[in-house]
Amino acid sequence: MKNFQILFLLITIIVSGQSLKKNDNLGKYKSVETLHGNNKRRWWTVSKLSNGKIIQTENFLKNKLTYRVIYIYDSINDVTKEVKKYDLNKGFISDTLKFFYTWNEKKQLIEKKDEFGCTEKYSRFNTENFPEVMERSSCPLDSIIGYREEYLYDTRGNILVEKIFSKDNGRTKIETNSYKYDQFNNIIEINRKSEPKESYPIPVNGGRFRYENEKYRYVYNEFGLWTKQFWIVENKEYLITKRKFK
């Protein structure tokens, strides 16, 4: 259950593809440097590691620090605090975001909430204790209402099928994402469909276009951690991320 909870955090911090938490060899390193896009240090990230967990992340634009945040964990590896230490627009600060968790008698995480009231509720657990339903509410930054996700997993705990339900002007929208993985639990293919049907690719604010069909290819180091990630759409391959472990 803990791996599922940390999964979304680490994908957000590092890069889409694979949660770093899923590779035990991550504990061999003190940091990971991530270069986004095929460029010369235009946008890059440095994350400090401790026992395989991210404890600090810094974002840079060229060589200029734009963001720094530290993460505080409890004894069961849930992130309880995110402390923003630097913001390009505010300078050096100390803004803390707290998270609160609720567990049932089976030790299943059934609710995660932050101090602003944003709540994620988990239910319908499978035999491996992974939740098949997540419902989110009261999030100040959410532009949609009625947000719900449903998951189907493989035997390794990877999400095979993800259904995202939302409402737009009273009309329900469903996006279904199907995933394929390699032996290292990295996503190698995504297939999407939407109801009502949408035209792909779909623009994403601050990110790459979302295509109906996407593939990924990786170059690995000797410990099964990828160092290069390639994005394949419309029969063209692009180098989108490089990682260096230290």
Mean pLDDT of 98-122: 92
Domain count of the chain?
1
- 69 versus 117: which is more confidently predicted? 69
Terminal C-alpha separation, the chain = 28
CA gap 225, 217 in Å, rounded: 13
pLDDT tens-digit map of 181-209: 999 999 999 999 999 999 999 998 877 89
- Check whether 105 has a pLDDT greater than 70: yes
- 23 versus 83: which is more confidently predicted? 83
Q: What is the pLDDT of residue 20?
A: 45
Residue with tokens 């790459």: 208
- Check whether 14 has a pLDDT greater than 70: no
Structural domain boundaries enclosing 187: 2-245
Mean pLDDT of 2-25: 44
What does R_g of the chain's alpha carbons equal in angstroms? 18
Q: How confident is the model at residue 6 (pLDDT cuts 50, 70, 90)?
A: very low
Q: What is the pLDDT of residue 22?
A: 59
Q: What is the pLDDT of residue 77?
A: 83
Q: How confident is the model at residue 99 (pLDDT cuts 50, 70, 90)?
A: very high
- Check whether 236 has a pLDDT greater than 90: yes
pLDDT tens-digit map of 22-79: 577 888 999 999 998 766 668 899 999 998 889 999 999 988 999 999 999 988 888 9
Please give the model's pTM, rounded to 2 decimal places. Answer: 0.84
Q: How confident is the model at residue 143 (pLDDT cuts 50, 70, 90)?
A: low
Mean pLDDT of the chain: 86
Q: What is the pLDDT of residue 23?
A: 72
Q: How far is CA 183 from the centre of its chain?
A: 19
Contacts by residues 165-168 (CB-CB < 8 Å, ≥ 24 positions apart): 168/144
CA gap 55, 70 in Å, rounded: 5
Q: Are 80 and 98 a contacting pair, CB within 8 Å?
A: yes
- Check whether 9 has a pLDDT greater than 90: no
- 111 versus 206: which is more confidently predicted? 111
Per residue, what are the HEC states of the chain?
A: CHHHHHHHHHHHHCCCCCCHHHCHHHHHCCEEEEEECCCCCCEEEEEEEECCEEEEEEEEECCEEEEEEEEEECCCCCEEEEEEEEECCCEEEEEEEEEEEEECCCCCEEEEEECCCCEEEEEEECCCCCEEEEEEECCCCCCCEEEEEEEEECCCCCEEEEEEEEEECCEEEEEEEEEEECCCCCEEEEEEEEECCCCCCECCCCCCCECCEEEEEEEECCCCCEEEEEEEECCEEEEEEEEEEC
